[in-house]
Amino acid sequence: MVSTVDAAAAQMRPGDRRLRILLLADDAHPADAVRDHIRSIKQHSRQRVAVVNPIRYRKGWRVRSLDYDVILIHYSISVLFDYYLPGPVAAAVAAFSGPKIQIIQDECRWVDRMTQRMAGLGINAVFSSLTPENIRLAYHHQHVAGIRFISGLPGYISNRLRKVDAPPLANRPFDLVYRGRPLPIWLGRFGQEKAAIGEQALRMAERYDLKADCDTREEARVYGAQWHDLLTRGRAALATEGGATVFDFDGTIEEKVAEYRNDHPAADDDDVWHAVVRPHEGNVVHKTITPRVFEAIMCRTALVMYPGDYRGILQPWEHYIPLERDGSNEAEVVSRLRDDAFLEQLTERAYRRVADDPALDFANYVRALDAAASRLFTEREAAAQGHRTAFAGLAALPVVRNCISGLERQLSDLGNVHTPAGKASYKISQWTELAKTLLVRLLSGRNTTSSSGGGKPGE
């Protein structure tokens, strides 16, 4: 059950019912690309989207049974860790009776644990950054066989990127800018290229007297306005494909690497790769274009990149300057970096390639999300028809649903009233929970204990 974002977006029907979606996301994340992703869902969705950051979970918050039709979990929330998805919130998600969709990235690590978590939360559809072929390789587990997977990119062109201030190349003080860090060696050789290209560029800058602001140290990473400032201070930016060439399905590769480093403290990454990782190299080869590439292009900053596929979007010399890994064409790269006319034409072609392609706009991606949510909701409603009460049709009316949601909230507030007598407070809570249960069962045919987060699943 694998499709693509474009195929899913094409299934969106204007007449589909407008749904209420709870989007669990870290809207305080420091990276613009992450915040763009979250904002774009709200901006482009035809559904009514409410964003809740579970990292800021407060005791008493719950997924109320009639407030939402669909739950969408953003990739900024790693469902494997309580820090991102606290226990009570996870229990509420698992107990929610409506459709649940997960957006996921960094799929090369903890694969088995993630698929088990998907099954435990009851995820119905996953928007993946893997290609359809790699989705089939990575998610081969029987317990997620019923989940629909939609293949897309890790990022798209946002409204913010279309409005960025891009100073002329002639006014930029640096020839090359870059921030990058290598992936852990247990994810394969490919992940080391992010550091390798930065180190190569520094050597090239020294050899050819280029002005460069390139750094591969973790502490040198920048976000938000600082990242935008860096991009617009460089005539060109370095970049590579994102991805990994080793998928650590059960966590044993990471564990064996840690054990080897403990036993051989002087070992470098090359030693570790030969001793531990080499037999797994290429078990899944995932390479993709990254949001940072799109950010550079929209800032009208030229790109110097290792040759790659870049998901078939960018072509060498047409949209970026290819830098050979062995350094054999460094002189030509430097010559092009000093050619203002060439850079202007290159950046314009790259800009037009991504800015004018509807498939690369966030609106198309969100249309696919909307379509998936509508399809899952319609299928769930059809399956539930035989289990609804005689008043189910009445509850489907928006005005009635809003009234019921308001009454349910008032009952919840009443249940949270604190009285001097602990027993009295407990009784109020009991009676309000019972009233909510009867209310929802009568008018919607839904079971609040299977859709609210107030109790344990199955209570």
pLDDT, tens digit, for every residue of 264-289? 999 999 999 999 999 999 999 999 99
Q: Helix count (H) and strand count (E) of the chain?
A: 16, 14
Query: Mean per-residue pLDDT for 227-245?
Result: 97
Question: Is the pLDDT confidence value at 447 over 60?
Answer: no
Mean pLDDT on 224-248: 96
Token pair for 304: 């110097």
> What is the DSSP-derived secondary structure letter of residue 182?
P
pLDDT over 80 (residue 334)? yes
| In the predicted structure, residue 445 carries a pLDDT above the cut 50 | no
Q: What is the pLDDT of residue 172?
A: 97
Which amino acid type is present at position 2?
V
CA distance 261 to 328: 34
* Element spanning 149, H or E: strand 148-151
| Maximum pairwise Cα distance, the chain | 81
For the chain, state the CA radius of gyration: 25
Percent of the chain with pLDDT over 70: 82
pLDDT, one tens digit per residue, over 126-150 is 999 999 999 999 999 888 989 999 9
d(CA 156, CA 164): 15
**Residue closest to 76 by CA, chosen among 20, 112, 36, 46:** 36
- Quick one: how far is CA 101 from the chain centroid? 12
pLDDT of residue 446 exceeding 60, the answer is: no
- Least confident window among 29-33, 360-364, 401-405: 401-405
The DSSP line for 318-358 is: TTBEE--TTSTTHHHHHHHHT-HHHHHHHHHHHHHHHHT-G
At 401 the three-state DSSP class reads helix
pLDDT at residue 456 in the model: 31
pLDDT at 395 over 60: no
pLDDT for 168 beyond 70 = yes
Burial per residue of 105-125, b for 16 or more beta-carbon CB atoms within 10 angstroms, e otherwise: bbbbbbbeebbebbbebbbbb
Domains and CATH numbers, the chain: 2-156+361-387 (3.40.50), 163-357 (3.40.50), 388-459 (no CATH)
pLDDT at res. 392:
56
The answer on pLDDT for 398 being more than 70 is no
> What 3-state DSSP class applies to 167?
coil
Residue 381: its pLDDT value, please? 84
| Mean per-residue pLDDT, 405-425 | 48
Instruction: Tell me whether strands 48-52 and 20-24 are parallel, antiparallel or unpaired.
Output: parallel
- DSSP code string of 6-53: HHHHTT--TTSPP-EEEEE--TT-S-HHHHHHHHHHHHH-SSEEEEE-
CA dihedral of residues 355, 360, 364, 368 (deg, nearest 10): -170
- Asked if residue 438 has pLDDT above 60, the reply is no
